[in-house]
């Protein structure tokens, strides 16, 4: 059995608010092996980005508290000091943030921002840092790399900024890359190029990827395994083929039915009615209750556990026993 590069065990993220303590990530457990791509999917507001920020230790303890264990290699990340986490971020673990338009610092050149990773985590001289920065920009397909390092973010297109973000994240060849909606706001052609680039970097460096997205097309192309998140919980987990060919949870089924297909004759899409509940709104029963066509009395009274069903995990009372099915 492969040893896990990242192992998240019973992680909670609780925020302090004027209304009391609210749980945004609720008892989440998963693992990622070296060289594996795991997708975390769900609607906006399901807790995907909070999960990634919790792993990276980027949520201030003044507003949010992490419980449980987040283990990376032989280190428990949520027990490390700020200095120890800083030595890991950008070095062994990197993150591509959701908005390349706003994630880059507008007052510093591209070269300085990428070179910062080398400055913090290597002993390269200034000349060596510049050389490595140009090499990395070329690897992510940016032309005129020797000129781009002197330019500022506002001088680049959205696709170029995203490539810069990837170059910055991959500068020190991390073991784990967390990509939060890496193709958001990019046109289809640029999306394809970015995904191809991430796959190339994975193949070249053996980097594991936690891919956070709501785009199921991206998931089908990139992922080895898929975790479906709803209201801060994992509601289904399986390999990518099983998720697409044999989804079990009503939420997963609904997500797939909401996606148009070019392989089928015209048909009306079947969207999921309603919205993800706001934090603190669900105090009993299944959070998906009011949107589920299969809900029954037990769903109202008690939250379902994450059941093992064949080769997947499902958090639904329909699968409390393996012989039950939708």
| DSSP sequence for 224-284 | SEEEEEETTEEEEEEEHHHHHHS--SHHHHHHHHTS--SSS------PPPS-PPPTT---S
pLDDT of residue 127: 95
- And the tokens for 46? 């399901």
Look at residue 13 and give its three-state secondary structure: strand
Taking the CB of residue 126, how many other CB atoms lie within 10 A of it? Answer: 10
Residues forming beta bridges with residue 32, ordered by sequence position = 6
User: Tens digit of pLDDT for each residue in 89-110?
Assistant: 999 999 998 776 778 999 999 9
Decide if 234 contacts 29 (C-beta within 8 A).
yes
* 8 A C-beta contact, residue 144 and residue 137: no
Q: Residue 265 pLDDT > 70, yes or no?
A: no
Tokens representing 122 are: 């290597």
Whether residue 197 has pLDDT greater than 50: yes
Residue 1: pLDDT band with limits 50, 70, 90: very low
**Tens-digit pLDDT profile for residues 126-183:** 999 999 999 999 988 899 999 999 999 999 988 889 889 989 998 898 999 999 988 8
Which range of 173-187, 203-217, 225-239 scores highest in mean pLDDT? It is 225-239
Average pLDDT in the 255-261 region?
A: 83
- Mean pLDDT along residues 221-243: 96
pLDDT in tens, 305-318: 999 988 899 999 99
Tens digit of pLDDT for each residue in 266-312? 667 778 889 999 998 998 999 999 999 999 999 999 999 999 988 89
């Amino acid at each position: 059995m492969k040893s896990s590069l990242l192992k998240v065990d019973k992680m909670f993220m609780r925020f302090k608010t004027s209304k009391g303590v609210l749980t945004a990530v609720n008892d989440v457990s998963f693992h990622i092996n070296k060289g594996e791509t795991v997708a975390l999917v769900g609607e906006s507001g399901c807790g995907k980005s909070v999960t990634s920020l919790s792993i990276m230790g980027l949520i201030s303890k003044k507003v949010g508290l992490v419980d449980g264990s987040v283990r990376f290699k032989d280190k428990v990340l949520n027990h490390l000091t700020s200095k120890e986490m800083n030595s890991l971020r950008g070095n062994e673990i990197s993150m591509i943030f959701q908005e390349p338009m706003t994630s880059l610092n507008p007052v510093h050149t591209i070269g300085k921002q990428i070179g910062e990773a080398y400055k913090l985590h290597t002993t390269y001289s200034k000349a060596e840092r510049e050389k490595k920065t140009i090499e990395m920009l070329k690897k992510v397909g940016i032309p005129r790399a020797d000129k781009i390092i002197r330019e500022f973010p506002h001088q680049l297109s959205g696709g170029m900024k995203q490539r810069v973000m990837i170059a910055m994240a991959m500068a020190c060849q991390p073991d784990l890359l967390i990509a939060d909606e890496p193709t958001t706001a990019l046109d289809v052609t640029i999306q394809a190029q970015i995904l191809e680039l991430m796959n190339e970097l994975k193949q070249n460096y053996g980097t594991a990827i936690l891919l956070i997205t709501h785009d199921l097309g991206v998931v089908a192309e990139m992922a080895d395994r898929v975790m479906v998140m709803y209201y801060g919980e994992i509601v289904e987990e399986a390999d990518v083929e099983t998720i697409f060919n044999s989804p079990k949870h009503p939420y997963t089924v609904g997500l797939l039915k909401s996606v148009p297909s070019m392989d089928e004759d015209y048909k009306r899409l079947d969207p999921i009615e309603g919205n993800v509940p706001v934090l603190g709104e669900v105090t009993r029963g299944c959070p998906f209750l009011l949107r589920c066509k299969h809900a029954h009395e037990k769903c109202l009274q008690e939250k379902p556990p994450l059941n093992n069903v064949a080769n997947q995990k499902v958090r639904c009372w329909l699968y409390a026993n393996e012989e039950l099915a939708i």
